[in-house]
Protein backbone atom coordinates (compact mmCIF):
# COMPACT_ATOMS: atom_id res chain seq x y z
CA UNK A 1 0.00 0.00 0.00
CA UNK A 2 1.24 3.51 -0.77
CA UNK A 3 0.30 6.98 0.46
CA UNK A 4 1.32 10.48 -0.56
CA UNK A 5 2.42 13.21 1.85
CA UNK A 6 2.81 16.94 1.10
CA UNK A 7 5.41 18.76 3.19
CA UNK A 8 4.62 21.99 5.04
CA UNK A 9 7.00 24.54 6.56
CA UNK A 10 6.16 23.24 10.04
CA UNK A 11 7.18 19.70 8.98
CA UNK A 12 10.52 20.94 7.62
CA UNK A 13 11.23 23.11 10.66
CA UNK A 14 10.54 20.37 13.22
CA UNK A 15 11.66 17.36 11.17
CA UNK A 16 8.26 15.71 11.59
CA UNK A 17 5.46 14.17 9.53
CA UNK A 18 1.80 14.23 10.52
CA UNK A 19 0.13 10.87 11.13
CA UNK A 20 -2.19 10.83 8.14
CA UNK A 21 -4.87 8.16 8.12
CA UNK A 22 -2.87 5.45 6.27
CA UNK A 23 0.01 5.90 8.72
CA UNK A 24 -2.30 5.68 11.73
CA UNK A 25 -3.63 2.34 10.48
CA UNK A 26 -0.18 0.99 9.57
CA UNK A 27 1.50 2.10 12.83
CA UNK A 28 -1.26 1.15 15.25
CA UNK A 29 0.29 0.02 18.56
CA UNK A 30 3.86 1.09 17.65
CA UNK A 31 6.04 3.67 19.38
CA UNK A 32 9.01 3.45 16.98
CA UNK A 33 9.38 2.62 13.31
CA UNK A 34 12.19 2.26 10.77
CA UNK A 35 12.06 4.28 7.53
CA UNK A 36 14.23 3.46 4.51
CA UNK A 37 15.02 6.02 1.80
CA UNK A 38 15.74 5.60 -1.90
CA UNK A 39 19.40 4.78 -1.30
CA UNK A 40 18.76 2.23 1.43
CA UNK A 41 19.68 4.50 4.35
CA UNK A 42 17.48 3.87 7.38
CA UNK A 43 16.07 6.25 9.99
CA UNK A 44 14.81 5.31 13.46
CA UNK A 45 11.86 7.64 14.20
CA UNK A 46 9.50 8.07 17.14
CA UNK A 47 5.73 7.75 16.81
CA UNK A 48 4.28 10.58 18.93
CA UNK A 49 0.62 9.62 19.25
CA UNK A 50 -0.09 12.52 21.60
CA UNK A 51 0.97 15.14 19.02
CA UNK A 52 -0.07 12.95 16.06
CA UNK A 53 3.22 12.91 14.20
CA UNK A 54 6.44 11.03 13.35
CA UNK A 55 9.56 12.67 14.83
CA UNK A 56 13.15 12.42 13.61
CA UNK A 57 12.85 13.00 9.84
CA UNK A 58 15.02 16.13 9.77
CA UNK A 59 18.15 14.31 8.43
CA UNK A 60 16.13 12.86 5.52
CA UNK A 61 14.58 16.23 4.61
CA UNK A 62 18.03 17.85 4.68
CA UNK A 63 19.65 15.05 2.67
CA UNK A 64 17.05 15.27 -0.11
CA UNK A 65 16.92 19.09 0.07
CA UNK A 66 13.13 19.10 0.30
CA UNK A 67 11.00 22.24 0.40
CA UNK A 68 7.44 23.33 1.15
CA UNK A 69 4.79 21.45 -0.93
CA UNK A 70 7.28 18.80 -2.07
CA UNK A 71 5.68 15.36 -2.07
CA UNK A 72 6.83 12.08 -0.58
CA UNK A 73 5.45 8.65 -1.49
CA UNK A 74 5.23 6.31 1.51
CA UNK A 75 5.47 2.59 0.78
CA UNK A 76 3.68 0.90 3.70
CA UNK A 77 4.84 -2.68 3.37
CA UNK A 78 6.68 -5.05 5.72
CA UNK A 79 8.49 -3.87 8.85
CA UNK A 80 9.88 -0.66 7.33
CA UNK A 81 8.29 2.31 5.57
CA UNK A 82 9.84 3.16 2.21
CA UNK A 83 10.42 6.84 1.40
CA UNK A 84 10.43 8.20 -2.14
CA UNK A 85 10.73 11.98 -2.68
CA UNK A 86 9.00 13.27 -5.81
CA UNK A 87 10.49 16.79 -5.76
CA UNK A 88 12.69 17.51 -8.78
CA UNK A 89 15.24 19.13 -6.47
CA UNK A 90 15.41 16.15 -4.14
CA UNK A 91 18.88 14.92 -4.88
CA UNK A 92 21.49 13.90 -2.35
CA UNK A 93 24.26 16.39 -1.89
CA UNK A 94 27.47 14.83 -3.18
CA UNK A 95 30.65 16.05 -1.59
CA UNK A 96 33.81 15.98 -3.68
CA UNK A 97 36.61 14.09 -1.99
CA UNK A 98 39.33 16.40 -0.75
CA UNK A 99 42.33 16.66 -3.02
CA UNK A 100 45.77 15.92 -1.72
CA UNK A 101 47.96 18.80 -0.65
CA UNK A 102 49.77 20.50 -3.49
CA UNK A 103 53.48 21.05 -3.11
CA UNK A 104 54.32 24.67 -2.63
CA UNK A 105 57.57 26.46 -2.94
CA UNK A 106 58.90 27.46 0.45
CA UNK A 107 58.58 31.25 0.77
CA UNK A 108 61.77 33.18 1.40
CA UNK A 109 62.29 34.28 4.94
CA UNK A 110 61.16 37.83 5.61
CA UNK A 111 62.44 40.15 8.24
CA UNK A 112 59.53 41.58 10.20
CA UNK A 113 59.62 44.69 12.33
CA UNK A 114 56.98 45.02 15.06
CA UNK A 115 55.80 48.54 15.80
CA UNK A 116 53.84 49.25 18.97
CA UNK A 117 51.57 52.30 18.52
CA UNK A 118 51.11 54.84 21.26
CA UNK A 119 47.88 54.36 23.23
CA UNK A 120 45.16 56.74 22.17
CA UNK A 121 44.88 58.16 25.67
CA UNK A 122 48.57 59.20 25.52
CA UNK A 123 48.20 61.07 22.22
CA UNK A 124 44.83 62.64 23.19
CA UNK A 125 44.89 62.79 27.01
CA UNK A 126 41.74 64.93 27.34
CA UNK A 127 39.57 63.03 24.84
CA UNK A 128 37.43 60.27 26.46
CA UNK A 129 37.54 56.87 24.79
CA UNK A 130 34.24 55.86 23.16
CA UNK A 131 32.39 53.03 24.88
CA UNK A 132 32.03 49.83 22.90
CA UNK A 133 28.44 49.29 21.81
CA UNK A 134 27.28 45.88 23.10
CA UNK A 135 26.42 43.16 20.60
CA UNK A 136 22.82 42.95 21.80
CA UNK A 137 22.25 46.49 20.46
CA UNK A 138 22.38 45.23 16.86
CA UNK A 139 19.86 42.50 17.66
CA UNK A 140 17.40 44.95 19.24
CA UNK A 141 17.77 47.29 16.27
CA UNK A 142 17.08 44.36 13.93
CA UNK A 143 13.84 43.83 15.86
CA UNK A 144 12.76 47.42 15.16
CA UNK A 145 14.06 49.36 18.18
CA UNK A 146 16.28 52.47 17.99
CA UNK A 147 19.28 53.01 20.30
CA UNK A 148 19.22 56.46 21.91
CA UNK A 149 22.23 56.40 24.26
CA UNK A 150 25.97 55.96 23.86
CA UNK A 151 26.66 54.35 27.21
CA UNK A 152 25.17 52.39 30.08
CA UNK A 153 22.33 52.28 30.67
CA UNK A 154 21.78 51.53 27.00
CA UNK A 155 18.39 53.05 26.16
CA UNK A 156 16.27 51.87 23.24
CA UNK A 157 13.07 53.39 21.85
CA UNK A 158 10.27 51.29 20.35
CA UNK A 159 7.76 53.27 18.29
CA UNK A 160 4.38 51.54 17.94
CA UNK A 161 2.44 54.25 16.14
CA UNK A 162 0.05 55.59 18.75
CA UNK A 163 2.42 54.85 21.61
CA UNK A 164 6.10 54.42 22.38
CA UNK A 165 8.01 52.56 25.06
CA UNK A 166 11.61 52.81 26.23
CA UNK A 167 13.89 50.00 27.36
CA UNK A 168 17.00 50.65 29.49
CA UNK A 169 19.59 47.85 29.67
CA UNK A 170 22.97 47.13 31.19
CA UNK A 171 25.18 44.08 31.08
CA UNK A 172 25.56 42.13 34.30
CA UNK A 173 28.30 43.88 36.29
CA UNK A 174 28.22 47.01 34.13
CA UNK A 175 25.81 48.89 36.42
CA UNK A 176 24.31 48.00 39.80
CA UNK A 177 20.79 46.68 39.43
CA UNK A 178 19.65 49.35 41.90
CA UNK A 179 20.68 52.11 39.49
CA UNK A 180 18.70 50.47 36.69
CA UNK A 181 15.66 50.23 38.93
CA UNK A 182 15.98 53.91 39.86
CA UNK A 183 16.19 54.79 36.16
CA UNK A 184 12.85 53.09 35.61
CA UNK A 185 11.22 54.47 38.75
CA UNK A 186 12.11 57.99 37.63
CA UNK A 187 9.91 57.42 34.56
CA UNK A 188 12.80 57.49 32.09
CA UNK A 189 11.99 54.01 30.73
CA UNK A 190 8.98 51.70 30.93
CA UNK A 191 11.27 48.65 31.16
CA UNK A 192 14.76 48.15 32.52
CA UNK A 193 16.80 45.00 32.73
CA UNK A 194 20.06 43.12 33.10
CA UNK A 195 21.62 41.37 30.12
CA UNK A 196 23.58 38.19 30.79
CA UNK A 197 24.24 34.95 28.96
CA UNK A 198 22.09 31.91 29.63
CA UNK A 199 24.94 30.41 31.67
CA UNK A 200 24.79 33.43 34.03
CA UNK A 201 21.00 33.59 34.21
CA UNK A 202 20.73 32.52 37.84
CA UNK A 203 23.30 35.11 38.89
CA UNK A 204 21.38 37.88 37.10
CA UNK A 205 18.04 36.73 38.54
CA UNK A 206 19.56 36.62 42.03
CA UNK A 207 20.69 40.25 41.70
CA UNK A 208 17.19 41.23 40.55
CA UNK A 209 15.55 39.20 43.31
CA UNK A 210 17.60 41.00 45.95
CA UNK A 211 15.71 44.22 45.15
CA UNK A 212 12.20 43.03 45.98
CA UNK A 213 10.52 40.86 48.59
CA UNK A 214 8.73 38.53 46.14
CA UNK A 215 7.66 38.35 42.53
CA UNK A 216 9.85 39.30 39.58
CA UNK A 217 7.37 41.89 38.29
CA UNK A 218 7.43 43.78 41.60
CA UNK A 219 11.09 44.60 41.14
CA UNK A 220 10.40 46.32 37.85
CA UNK A 221 13.50 44.74 36.32
CA UNK A 222 13.66 42.04 33.66
CA UNK A 223 16.29 39.54 32.60
CA UNK A 224 17.42 39.32 28.97
CA UNK A 225 19.88 36.90 27.41
CA UNK A 226 21.82 37.66 24.20
CA UNK A 227 21.05 34.12 23.00
CA UNK A 228 17.30 34.82 23.24
CA UNK A 229 17.61 38.09 21.32
CA UNK A 230 19.61 36.36 18.58
CA UNK A 231 16.93 33.68 18.35
CA UNK A 232 14.24 36.35 18.01
CA UNK A 233 16.19 37.88 15.12
CA UNK A 234 16.38 34.48 13.40
CA UNK A 235 12.65 34.02 13.96
CA UNK A 236 12.00 37.43 12.35
CA UNK A 237 13.48 36.09 9.10
CA UNK A 238 10.60 33.61 8.95
CA UNK A 239 7.79 35.66 10.53
CA UNK A 240 7.35 39.42 11.16
CA UNK A 241 7.94 39.58 14.92
CA UNK A 242 8.71 43.04 16.30
CA UNK A 243 8.70 45.38 19.30
CA UNK A 244 5.18 44.39 20.41
CA UNK A 245 6.21 40.73 20.67
CA UNK A 246 9.31 41.77 22.61
CA UNK A 247 7.21 43.90 24.98
CA UNK A 248 4.99 40.93 25.74
CA UNK A 249 8.05 38.99 26.89
CA UNK A 250 9.31 41.99 28.87
CA UNK A 251 6.02 42.11 30.77
CA UNK A 252 6.52 38.47 31.75
CA UNK A 253 9.85 39.39 33.36
CA UNK A 254 12.21 37.29 31.23
CA UNK A 255 13.47 37.30 27.67
CA UNK A 256 15.34 34.01 27.71
CA UNK A 257 15.41 30.91 25.51
CA UNK A 258 12.42 29.35 27.30
CA UNK A 259 10.27 32.44 26.71
CA UNK A 260 11.30 32.68 23.06
CA UNK A 261 10.54 28.98 22.60
CA UNK A 262 6.94 29.60 23.70
CA UNK A 263 6.66 32.44 21.18
CA UNK A 264 8.15 30.22 18.46
CA UNK A 265 5.55 27.54 19.15
CA UNK A 266 2.78 30.10 18.55
CA UNK A 267 4.43 31.42 15.39
CA UNK A 268 4.94 27.99 13.89
CA UNK A 269 1.30 27.22 14.60
CA UNK A 270 0.44 30.16 12.32
CA UNK A 271 2.98 28.99 9.73
CA UNK A 272 1.42 25.53 9.90
CA UNK A 273 -1.94 27.07 8.95
CA UNK A 274 -0.25 28.79 6.00
CA UNK A 275 1.08 25.38 5.00
CA UNK A 276 -2.50 24.06 5.03
CA UNK A 277 -3.50 26.89 2.67
CA UNK A 278 -0.70 25.87 0.29
CA UNK A 279 -1.76 22.23 0.52
CA UNK A 280 -5.34 23.11 -0.50
CA UNK A 281 -4.06 25.07 -3.51
CA UNK A 282 -2.11 21.96 -4.48
CA UNK A 283 -5.32 19.92 -4.30
CA UNK A 284 -7.24 22.45 -6.39
CA UNK A 285 -4.52 22.50 -9.06
CA UNK A 286 -5.99 19.24 -10.39
CA UNK A 287 -9.45 20.80 -10.84
CA UNK A 288 -10.19 22.22 -14.33
CA UNK A 289 -11.67 25.76 -14.52
CA UNK A 290 -15.44 26.28 -14.72
CA UNK A 291 -16.11 22.89 -13.15
CA UNK A 292 -18.28 22.15 -10.12
CA UNK A 293 -16.90 19.97 -7.33
CA UNK A 294 -17.87 18.94 -3.81
CA UNK A 295 -15.85 19.26 -0.63
CA UNK A 296 -16.23 15.49 -0.29
CA UNK A 297 -14.37 15.04 -3.59
CA UNK A 298 -11.23 16.54 -2.01
CA UNK A 299 -11.41 14.86 1.40
CA UNK A 300 -9.49 11.62 0.61
CA UNK A 301 -6.39 13.52 -0.50
CA UNK A 302 -6.92 16.20 2.15
CA UNK A 303 -6.77 13.58 4.90
CA UNK A 304 -3.51 12.28 3.48
CA UNK A 305 -2.16 15.81 3.87
CA UNK A 306 -3.32 15.93 7.50
CA UNK A 307 -6.33 18.19 6.87
CA UNK A 308 -9.68 17.72 8.56
CA UNK A 309 -13.01 18.58 6.95
CA UNK A 310 -13.52 21.80 8.95
CA UNK A 311 -10.03 23.06 8.02
CA UNK A 312 -10.62 22.34 4.34
CA UNK A 313 -14.08 23.98 4.46
CA UNK A 314 -12.65 27.15 6.05
CA UNK A 315 -9.90 27.52 3.44
CA UNK A 316 -12.32 26.92 0.55
CA UNK A 317 -14.65 29.59 1.96
CA UNK A 318 -11.73 32.06 2.14
CA UNK A 319 -10.85 31.36 -1.48
CA UNK A 320 -14.39 32.48 -2.44
CA UNK A 321 -13.78 35.98 -1.04
CA UNK A 322 -11.70 38.94 -2.28
CA UNK A 323 -8.92 39.27 -3.12
CA UNK A 324 -8.75 35.56 -4.05
CA UNK A 325 -12.05 34.86 -5.90
CA UNK A 326 -10.67 31.52 -7.04
CA UNK A 327 -13.94 29.73 -6.15
CA UNK A 328 -17.66 30.48 -6.10
CA UNK A 329 -19.78 28.90 -3.38
CA UNK A 330 -22.91 27.37 -4.91
CA UNK A 331 -24.33 25.62 -1.86
CA UNK A 332 -22.95 24.23 1.43
CA UNK A 333 -20.06 21.98 0.42
CA UNK A 334 -20.43 22.73 -3.32
CA UNK A 335 -18.07 25.05 -5.23
CA UNK A 336 -17.37 26.28 -8.76
CA UNK A 337 -13.73 26.52 -9.87
CA UNK A 338 -13.69 29.97 -11.53
CA UNK A 339 -10.20 29.62 -13.06
CA UNK A 340 -7.08 27.48 -12.80
CA UNK A 341 -4.78 27.81 -9.79
CA UNK A 342 -1.92 28.84 -12.08
CA UNK A 343 -3.96 31.71 -13.55
CA UNK A 344 -5.18 32.75 -10.11
CA UNK A 345 -1.63 32.89 -8.75
CA UNK A 346 -0.62 35.04 -11.72
CA UNK A 347 -3.56 37.39 -11.06
CA UNK A 348 -2.70 37.63 -7.35
CA UNK A 349 0.92 38.45 -8.18
CA UNK A 350 -0.21 41.19 -10.57
CA UNK A 351 -2.58 42.59 -7.93
CA UNK A 352 0.29 42.66 -5.41
CA UNK A 353 2.59 44.38 -7.92
CA UNK A 354 0.03 47.09 -8.77
CA UNK A 355 -0.80 47.64 -5.09
CA UNK A 356 2.88 47.94 -4.21
CA UNK A 357 3.31 50.54 -6.94
CA UNK A 358 0.39 52.57 -5.55
CA UNK A 359 1.81 52.47 -2.04
CA UNK A 360 5.22 53.57 -3.26
CA UNK A 361 3.57 56.46 -5.12
CA UNK A 362 1.78 57.55 -1.93
CA UNK A 363 4.99 57.39 0.10
CA UNK A 364 6.81 59.64 -2.41
CA UNK A 365 4.27 62.48 -2.12
CA UNK A 366 5.49 65.59 -0.28
User: Do the domain assignments include residue 75?
Assistant: yes
**Residues 305, 253 within the same domain:** no
Residue 97 has pLDDT above 90, yes or no: no
Task: Assess contact for 256 and 201: CB atoms under 8 A.
Answer: yes
Domain termination site, one of 265, 298, 322: 265
User: Do the domain assignments include residue 94?
Assistant: no
Label residue 290 exposed, middle or buried (CB < 10 Å: 0-12, 13-18, 19+).
exposed
* pLDDT tens per residue, range 300-311: 888 887 788 888
**Residues 319, 212 within the same domain:** no
**Residues 250, 297 within the same domain:** no
Domain termination site, one of 85, 101, 117: 85
**Residues 308, 239 within the same domain:** no
pLDDT tier for residue 111 given thresholds of 50, 70 and 90: low
pLDDT tier for residue 107 given thresholds of 50, 70 and 90: low
Task: Assess contact for 23 and 74: CB atoms under 8 A.
Answer: yes
In the chain, % of residues over pLDDT 90: 28
User: Do the domain assignments include residue 275?
Assistant: no
> Domain residues for 293?
285-363
Residue 290: what pLDDT?
92
pTM of the model: 0.48
Task: Assess contact for 1 and 23: CB atoms under 8 A.
Answer: no
**How many CB atoms are closer than 10 A to CB 103?**
6
* pLDDT tens per residue, range 323-338: 899 999 999 889 999 9
**Residues 173, 253 within the same domain:** yes
Residue 156: what pLDDT?
93
* pLDDT tens per residue, range 195-246: 999 999 898 888 888 876 444 444 578 999 999 999 999 888 878 888 998 9
Residue 110: what pLDDT?
55
How many domains does the chain divide into? 3
Task: Assess contact for 222 and 254: CB atoms under 8 A.
Answer: yes
**Residues 61, 22 within the same domain:** yes
* pLDDT tens per residue, range 144-196: 999 988 888 889 999 888 889 999 998 988 888 888 888 888 888 889 999 99
What's the CA angle centered on 330, arms 324 and 332, to 5 degrees? 100
> Regarding predicted confidence, which is higher, 49 or 339?
339
Give φ, ψ of 227 to 5 degrees. -60, -40
What's the CA angle centered on 159, arms 257 and 229, to 5 degrees? 15
- CATH code assigned at 47: 2.40.330.10
Residue 43: what pLDDT?
92
pLDDT tier for residue 103 given thresholds of 50, 70 and 90: low
Residue 96 has pLDDT above 80, yes or no: no
User: Do the domain assignments include residue 93?
Assistant: no
CA distances from 245 to 42, 158, 191, 252, 259 (A): 41, 11, 14, 11, 11
**Residues 246, 302 within the same domain:** no
Residue 33 has pLDDT above 60, yes or no: yes
Mean pLDDT of 120-131: 48
Domain termination site, one of 236, 265, 294: 265
**Residues 254, 152 within the same domain:** yes
| Rounded-to-integer distance, Cα 361 and Cα 350, Å | 17
| Rounded-to-integer distance, Cα 148 and Cα 189, Å | 12
**Residues 145, 258 within the same domain:** yes
User: Do the domain assignments include residue 127?
Assistant: no
| Rounded-to-integer distance, Cα 96 and Cα 353, Å | 42
Residues 6+ apart with CB under 8 A from 335: 292, 293, 294, 295, 316, 320, 327, 328, 329
- What is the DSSP-derived secondary structure letter of residue 175? B
User: Do the domain assignments include residue 123?
Assistant: no
User: Do the domain assignments include residue 277?
Assistant: no
Torsion angle of alpha carbons 44, 49, 50, 54, nearest 10°? 40
> Regarding predicted confidence, which is higher, 331 or 362?
331
Residue 197: what pLDDT?
92
User: Do the domain assignments include residue 214?
Assistant: yes
Average pLDDT, the chain: 81
**Residues 251, 143 within the same domain:** yes
Amino acid sequence: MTARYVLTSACLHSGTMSLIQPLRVYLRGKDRVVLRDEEGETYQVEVNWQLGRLEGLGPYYAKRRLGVNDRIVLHLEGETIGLEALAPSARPIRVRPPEGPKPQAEPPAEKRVRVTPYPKEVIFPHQPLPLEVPAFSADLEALGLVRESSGAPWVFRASLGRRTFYLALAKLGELPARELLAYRQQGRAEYAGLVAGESARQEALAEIAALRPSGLAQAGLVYLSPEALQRLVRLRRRFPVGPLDLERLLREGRVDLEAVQRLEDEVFGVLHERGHFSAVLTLLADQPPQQVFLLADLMPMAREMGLEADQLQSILENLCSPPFLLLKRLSPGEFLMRQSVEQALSDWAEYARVMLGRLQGVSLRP
